[in-house]
Structure 1
Amino acid sequence: MALDTTNLSILKLAGTPEQQKHASRILPIRKNGHILLATLLLTNTVINETIPILFDNIFSKGFISVIVSTALLVLFAEIIPQSIFSKHGLAIGAMLVMPVKALIFIWMIISWPIAKLLDHMLGTHTGITYGPSEFGALVELHDKSKHEEGTLRHETADLLQNILSLQMNPIHQIRQFNNPMLLLSSSTVIHVDQIIEYMKEGQSHVVVYDKYDKEDASLLEKEYHVTGVISLKQLLLALVERNESQPIGELASKPFLTCSSTTPIIEVMYRLLKSKNKEQVVLIYRTEKDIKKIKEERLQKIQELNIKRQDGLNRHRRSIGCMSRRLVSSNCRTCGHLSSELLRSTSKSSFNQSVEEGTVCSDVSSSSKIDAEVELGLVGMMTGANILDQLSLDGPHLNFSHHPSNPV
């Protein structure tokens, strides 16, 4: 039972030939964990009850048979087997597969109903699975630079953690996302001097757009109808070769990808790798779904903070110092301070939620603060190179605290 199905599956796929052989033998009976558990416990119970009875016939006094049988069971059924199985469990488990199958067959009439009841109440036995944070912690435990028994180079561990962070982090968290975009109308006539000036400012591409005045324009086409993206270097070469200026809408532009601001970075990277164009541009849009998610996350953080403050206030009220001050002066300044902070935070949370739901009106300053990060439309641009740069950043970038996410 100590052999986890996930670990057995790993050994079956990537272990030594001997480990693969042992794991392949054990896995079929280990997968049905409740039948195996019921069988082993029934067998163990019968043995524990039978041995004292057998020794009772040998020793005339009952208490002697109990002491001897208990000592033998603890020594030969607990201590010695546990110490041996902890180091050689895989090999011994594979050797005992046939006897265990025989026991399962013998106890099937009793163990099968028990196993089905446990499956219904607790669910079937599954191996251990790790989310991105847990998997990142596992990688860190194997970092040679941090643990003597580690098996991974620091560079390997750091790279793996960066890759895992790409699944957890949305595209708008990339540093380059906040860089200002260069948007120009397709009718704009651009000159060489202007391009050089843009490049000095750190710009690499120009987003070419037409005003979109259709009533049925989709959300992604709202405000700007992007017709293409042009690299400033290529634009400079084209103008130098032609020795004349012309509207940028008439120049050849590159294809581009689009995604929402909450798309995981790993998904965007996968699309870029499939396109086989490292310099391809990704335009990031904020959709109504993104805004709804941002508001929900914002309110959730405030509510979690309120819960922590309430817990802190309750712990303080139960402390000896607080009870002593209230007993003497019927007032505790710390309690008053914590209560006022909790009241302000709760009031702010309720007000923000009411404004976002439209149930109350707010002044311009409050509204601008609430909606500062929830504007629709085109909000960012980056290249595949910017996203790939995330793999070389110094880590770790993972939060090993509880993070509700899908397992890897």
Structure 2
Amino acid sequence: MAVEYQCCETQFFIRLLIILLLVLFAGLMSGLTLGLMSLSLVDLEVLAKSGTPQDRKHAAKILPVVRNQHLLLCTLLICNAAAMEALPIFLDSLVVAWGAVLISVTLILLFGEIIPQSICSRYGLAIGATVAPFVRVLVWICFPVAYPISKLLDYLLGHRHEALFRRAELKTLVNLHGNEAGKGGELTHDETTIIAGALELSEKTASDAMTPITDIFSIDINSKLDRDLMNLILEKGHSRVPVYYEQPTNIIGLVLVKNLLTIDPEEEIPVKNVTIRRIPRVPETLPLYDILNEFQKGHSHMAVVVRHCEKTGQQSSNNNADGKHMLKAKY
């Protein structure tokens, strides 16, 4: 009788241990399903290249495992389902049927779903990197069943899972990372402004960045560089001043203010006697990227935007006050 009692006690603890392992295994599979599948390949590649040293190490271990995401998903779900289906079988030998169902649901819900997913959603990168070798073994074990299902999912849903942001989404993401958003971001206001401006640059043309000719400070080529004009130029604080002929809309070039430092206002030298640099003319539909490339060549940091006439198909004449606008390079 003592031997039979010891045997029953041993079987009881063995089944209890198996139940515990099944719950932990199901919880691990459930947590990894959430933790690993929530990490896109783009997120992992970013962490592997520019994350902290620890994140780089973890991402490098996880990347080979999650590269075939449908195969990984099928493996984790198959293992999770097998553990949950086996749990009532061992519980049924210890308690009555309704008790086995009640205990099974409670254990799976609490220790197999809620707690593991809560932990893995927060520490999914570290946990995934730790169990990556074990997951590889499971992939090979479940391969005969998981592989055909994963190939079917690839065919039906596609196998590309890159979570790349569109231009507008990326701009919003940058703004959220600014310290002004109050979400713990490290980007300053100037940095977010520069990045957002660069993202919008490809969609804007010269007409979006030009300054109306009426708001431009310019000087007549026939005027004299007397004390009043020199003081006015210095007061404006521009490094370049457009020069026009007869009327402000007829811009013919520009002068560099630094070249006027050696001029004596008492001599009243005419503007036409100083060096006048050529100013390029660009159509209003020219993309800002093309204009920026021209500015970077160093030939000019200012351009005249010429409006295109819809009726004649020609550029506006110099006498049309609405035909010309100034575009300044801002750095």
Same fold (TM over 0.5): yes
Count the aligned residue pairs.
Answer: 277
Does the CA contact (< 8 Å) of 1:229 and 1:281 recur in 2?
A: no
Pairing 1:5-404 to 2, within 5 Å after superposition: 5-59=41-95, 61-147=96-182, 149-176=184-211, 191-193=222-224, 204-206=241-243, 229-231=253-255, 253-254=277-278, 256=280, 260-272=283-295, 274-276=296-298, 279-284=300-305, 376=315, 380-384=325-329, 387-388=330-331
Does the CA contact (< 8 Å) of 2:242 and 2:255 recur in 1?
A: yes
- Deviations along 1:70-101, one digit per CA (max 9) or x if unpaired, are 21111222112112112221111001111111
Greater RCO, 1 or 2 (C-alpha within 8 Å, sep 6+): 1
CA distance in 2 between counterparts of 1:109 and 1:93 reads 23
Does the CA contact (< 8 Å) of 1:177 and 1:380 recur in 2?
A: yes
CA distance in 2 between counterparts of 1:145 and 1:237 reads 42
CA 1:376–1:160: 2 relative to 1, 3 Å: same
CA 1:239–1:253: 2 relative to 1, 3 Å: farther
TM-score (norm 1): 0.54
CA distance in 2 between counterparts of 1:174 and 1:67 reads 69
Which runs of 5 or more residues in structure 2 are unaligned? 1-36, 317-322
The amino acid that maps onto 1:150 is G
Give the drift of 1:276: 4.3
Which runs of 5 or more residues in structure 1 are unaligned? 183-188, 209-223, 292-370, 389-408
CA 1:253–1:129: 2 relative to 1, 3 Å: same
Which residue does the alignment assign to 1:340?
A: none
CA 1:193–1:232: 2 relative to 1, 3 Å: farther
CA distance in 1 between counterparts of 2:221 and 2:294 reads 32
| SS of match in other structure, 1:191 | coil
Does the CA contact (< 8 Å) of 2:224 and 2:270 recur in 1?
A: no
CA 1:252–1:137: 2 relative to 1, 3 Å: closer
Does the CA contact (< 8 Å) of 2:224 and 2:271 recur in 1?
A: no
| SS of match in other structure, 2:179 | coil
- Deviations along 1:191-228, one digit per CA (max 9) or x if unpaired, are 344996997999933589xxxxxxxxxxxxxxx9x9x8
Which residue does the alignment assign to 2:18?
A: none
| SS of match in other structure, 2:161 | coil
Does the CA contact (< 8 Å) of 2:210 and 2:326 recur in 1?
A: no
Larger radius of gyration: 2
CA 1:69–1:375: 2 relative to 1, 3 Å: farther
The amino acid that maps onto 1:111 is A
The amino acid that maps onto 2:327 is M
CA 1:64–1:142: 2 relative to 1, 3 Å: same
CA 1:130–1:375: 2 relative to 1, 3 Å: farther
CA 1:118–1:253: 2 relative to 1, 3 Å: same
Identity %: 27
| SS of match in other structure, 1:58 | coil
Q: What do you get for the CA RMSD once the two structures are aligned?
A: 4.4
